Structure 1
Amino acid sequence: MRYELKKLNLVLENAELKLAELKEKVIDLKSPIFYTKESLDAALNDETFYKNILEEKEKVIEETEKFSNVGRWSFDFETMEWSAETYRIFEYPEDFKGTLQDYYLSCIDEITLSRLEEQGRLLKLSHEGRVMNQTIITPSGNKKLLTFSSAPIFNDADEIIGVEGLVKDISENIVGINGLENFFNLSYDLHCIVHLDMYFVKVSPAWSTLLGYSEKELLSHSFLDFIHPDDREESTITSNIIENWDSTRSFENRYIKKSGEVVHLSWNTRLDRETHIAYCTVIDITKSKKEQDELLSKLSSKDLLLREIHHRVKNNLQIISSLLSLQSGANSKEKHLVKLYQDCQNRIKSMAAIHEMFYQSEQLDKIEFGKYIKKLIDDLSNTFSTKDNSIKFSMNVEPVYVNLDTAIPLGLIINEVVTNSIKHGGDEKGNVKILIKMETIEGGRLLMTIGDTGVNSVKNVLNSSDESLGVLLINSLVEQIDGEIKQMDNSEGTTFQFIFSDRSVF
């Protein structure tokens, strides 16, 4: 604006300009003074006429600025110019020693100062108008939040030679009464102030938008009247709640809209014990609650389906086991076939037991493996126990959880090793004693030790040239779950040690 006034002054000094052009500029200035055609023609020949017009225009602008609390400013990247209202906003002292730019820099706070270089760079480059906020502290100690608008000033070569714009003090809109009121009324969330007598003291318009009740209706009834009957007891503010209420409290409840629809609300409250009021921010979580319920419903359906799958797999494995038993009976004279059928049955039973535990477990993604080992050992004991010998187990198993992909190969490994110990790990009298130990070690890995005290121990079983099916199966399963296996040389009987990665353990 200051730049435009300078250009007008140059026009006034040029006496050779056409009369029509001068008349047009008078009209552009929208002078409030009324002229007849004759008086206007006479005035146009008077050099003081245009100066009077500009002075009157400046007065109108200054009055407008004062009324709206908006000041003007311009900066040619060397010197500043302010209107009277801008001086007032900055509380400029008449006795200040230094340039206007010096005073401006003495007022801005550290945060504004840190951003000033970047803002100045953008003002020199941007051909579009910009807005920015700055904070100043006046000599009297008043802290003000200001908003600036700016527009570039161009020369005839379309180069930016300066900027000009408006400045307004918006402190009241941010930290004053107006600012708090705007935040309360314009926020999308639900804000309210609640007295401990269970009445609303103040509610934001968002409450009426959500519930359909007017502000008067909300304030004239206890907030319990709007709460779902099943949630009223928990939402009632009692002396016990007040006594144990921390500085903040969070909870959820349901409100009933005027239409009868139920909405779910999430509360965050802060209590002022001195005034017995609570300041609350509330969020409508109805949509997310519905989505959560739908998700839980789908998960529940999937859980039931997964349990049914485990149950059916277990049943199918039991059918296969029964078929092998029948086949074994039909070939009872073939001892080697009977042994083969029995080994296959035990392997199938070990897998069936895992599926049974999974569909009985509360957590379908994992089982407590120690419980499975106990069941597996009981089943093997019942299969191989005779009157002529005894089978004793010593177990020391930590509560370790494994998933299905680990449980089945791990169960088969235990089945093979324990079965081998039962068959070949007896003492001189044929009695069998088996040790099973499982623990987590460094790095979250799983260490499992299985051994017997038999007298027929065979060294280096795992690397024997005549590997049995059991040994081949063990080596394959260990590799499948990214584990390691070794036979202990210093043990009394045959003992194996397994180490599995942390991916196998929960």
Structure 2
Amino acid sequence: MPKQPIYEELENRIQQLEQEKSEYEETQNELGKSINNYRTIFNAVNDAILIHNIQDGSFLDVNQKASELYGYTKEEILQLDVNALSVGIPPYTQAEAKAYILKAMQDGPQIFEWQGKKKNGALFWVEVNLKKSLLDGKECIIAVVRDISERKQNEEALRREGKKYRTIIQTATDGFWLADMQGKILESNDAYCRMSGYSQEELRSMCIPELDGLEKPDVVATKIQKIFQTGYDRFETKHRRKDGTLYDVEVSTQYLAIEEGYFVVFLRDITARKEAEDKLKSSIEEKNILLRELYHRTKNTLQVIRSMLVLQAATMPDNVQVQKLVTDTEQRILTISLVHQKLYQSQDLSRIALQDYLQELADLIIQSYLPAAQNISLSFESEPLFLLLDTAIPCGLVVNELLSNALKYAFPNNQSGQIVIRVSRNEAANIEVSVSDTGIGVSPGFDFEAQTTLGLQTVFAIAEKQLQGKVRFLTQKGVTCIFEFPDTLYSQRV
């Protein structure tokens, strides 16, 4: 029997309802999953989230982090108002919170700092981000709250440190600048204000070239670039005071690679020091002039004595002993005079170059024995050593006696030969001088110390007594005398 149309329509309607039911159940299942996912995310975030009723500011929902942050359960928070979670005194009260909520509704998201209070009464700092949103089709305010207690503690520590260092800088006797990369002065201290005559307000409107009284702006810019590259510099320059006068400053500056980059600059007024240095230089120059004049006059006086001896000896041309005595004395005077001449010509008024002195002395002695010494060659080997006047004169006198003895006795009858002078510092750190000749030598068993001649007595007396050194003779292949002495007996006096 065929179905009646009404039954067919009823079956179709039943099938349609079953399909809609299935789709509804599936939608509800998906919605449940979404809500669970939302809740999971809601409770998993690290920031506290509190959802406010826009009418009275009460809480509609909070996440797990909010409970942990404030110390209340979710149910307890939902029964509280903002005042209970705040310090409760202006500007952190329910009234201020409602004002922020209203601004978030009207003007858009609001971010501000707030002082909260936990269940146990402990106060702490939070950063609050308010944003208007829709929940179940109704407008609400979502507050994302982040604990910034540690950041605030760090900021406070930095503030205290900054205050401490600012106090140190302001009480320092040296001037201080903080300048930007273009050389504009951002900060200064009282000490620099006193130096320059400008107020801190005036200095903040100025750049370094306006204060530098020595360098042009392009030179200052180049120096700033150099400090940026090297990180540090220290130099002297002149600055111009407000009244136009110049004064000397020592500048120490360091580049700080933070934010846009800054220069920390310390400035010291060294006008008094520079004046003292100039006076000292002038005094030293005057003393140098006097010392040179003294050396010059001493040399001239010795030359006068030498000339008088020569003139006196000329009155007794046949007296060999007198002539010999005058010649020996003349050479000794020459030895002393040459030291004063070297000091007079030198930049260093207390020391002379030993090599130059002994070389010139030896050449002068050789010349005084011409033509008898024309077949004798002289060679010189020396390290670059310097001696004080108190040591150089006795050293020269010893070399004079040794070289004169070699020229007198080592090469009879115009015999040819060689004399070698060597100067060095030995392993004991003493000055060592040797005078060697290739002459006829001495007879076996010759005792140098037992000789009564003035020359050898002078050698031992000066080398061992005055110079506190040692003397030894070698007699292989001629005669070699080696004497050594310390160069630390005297201190530099000029």
CA deviation vs aligned residue, 1:189-240 (integer Å, no higher than 9, x gap): 21101223232222112111111122233233332222223x4479612289
CA apart distance, 1:453: 1.2
142 and 469 in structure 1: CA distance in 2 versus 1, 3 angstrom threshold: farther
Letter in 2 for 1:462: F
CA apart distance, 1:247: 1.9
Q: When the two structures are superposed, what TM-score results if normalisation uses the length of structure 1?
A: 0.62
Letter in 1 for 2:277: Q
Q: Residue 127 of structure 1 aligns with which residue?
A: none
Contact 1:484 1:500 in 2 (8 A): yes
CA apart distance, 1:256: 2.3
Q: Residue 484 of structure 1 aligns with which residue?
A: 470
179 and 418 in structure 1: CA distance in 2 versus 1, 3 angstrom threshold: same
CA distance in 1, matches of 2:477, 2:439: 7
Q: Residue 247 of structure 2 aligns with which residue?
A: 263
2:348 aligned with 1:363: yes
Q: Residue 168 of structure 2 aligns with which residue?
A: 183
CA distance in 1, matches of 2:413, 2:218: 71
Contact 2:474 2:481 in 1 (8 A): yes
Q: Residue 252 of structure 1 aligns with which residue?
A: 236
Q: Give the root-mean-square deviation of aligned CA atoms.
A: 3.2
233 and 315 in structure 1: CA distance in 2 versus 1, 3 angstrom threshold: farther
Spell out the pairing of 1:429-468 with structure 2 (5 A cutoff).
429-458=414-443, 460-464=446-450, 466-468=451-453
**Among residues 361, 367, 387, which one is paired with 1:376 in the alignment?**
361
2:226 aligned with 1:242: yes
Contact 1:185 1:205 in 2 (8 A): yes
SS at structure 2 position matched to 1:416 = helix
360 and 393 in structure 1: CA distance in 2 versus 1, 3 angstrom threshold: same
CA distance in 2, matches of 1:445, 1:314: 29
Spell out the pairing of 1:90-169 with structure 2 (5 A cutoff).
none
Q: When the two structures are superposed, what TM-score results if normalisation uses the length of structure 2?
A: 0.64
CA distance in 2, matches of 1:240, 1:196: 8
CA distance in 2, matches of 1:265, 1:363: 31
CA apart distance, 1:314: 0.6
Percent identity between the two aligned chains: 25
Q: Residue 102 of structure 1 aligns with which residue?
A: none
Q: Residue 295 of structure 1 aligns with which residue?
A: 280
CA deviation vs aligned residue, 1:153-204 (integer Å, no higher than 9, x gap): xxxxxxxxxxxxxxxxx956751x3223323322222110122323222211
CA distance in 2, matches of 1:414, 1:200: 68
SS at structure 2 position matched to 1:237 = helix
CA apart distance, 1:295: 1.4
CA apart distance, 1:375: 0.7
CA distance in 2, matches of 1:234, 1:471: 72
SS at structure 2 position matched to 1:454 = coil
CA deviation vs aligned residue, 1:388-415 (integer Å, no higher than 9, x gap): 8422112111111000000000010000
SS at structure 2 position matched to 1:250 = strand
2:200 aligned with 1:215: yes
391 and 238 in structure 1: CA distance in 2 versus 1, 3 angstrom threshold: same
309 and 404 in structure 1: CA distance in 2 versus 1, 3 angstrom threshold: same
Unaligned runs of 5+ in 1: 1-92, 96-139, 146-169
388 and 356 in structure 1: CA distance in 2 versus 1, 3 angstrom threshold: closer
CA distance in 2, matches of 1:193, 1:298: 40
CA distance in 1, matches of 2:229, 2:237: 17
SS at structure 1 position matched to 2:230 = coil
SS at structure 2 position matched to 1:255 = strand
SS at structure 2 position matched to 1:482 = coil
Unaligned runs of 5+ in 2: 1-118, 122-148
SS at structure 2 position matched to 1:380 = helix
CA apart distance, 1:356: 0.3
234 and 251 in structure 1: CA distance in 2 versus 1, 3 angstrom threshold: farther
Q: Residue 334 of structure 2 aligns with which residue?
A: 349
**Among residues 273, 285, 289, which one is paired with 1:304 in the alignment?**
289
CA apart distance, 1:245: 3.3
CA distance in 2, matches of 1:243, 1:212: 27
420 and 234 in structure 1: CA distance in 2 versus 1, 3 angstrom threshold: farther
SS at structure 2 position matched to 1:487 = strand
Contact 1:486 1:498 in 2 (8 A): yes
CA distance in 1, matches of 2:373, 2:222: 74
CA apart distance, 1:261: 3.7
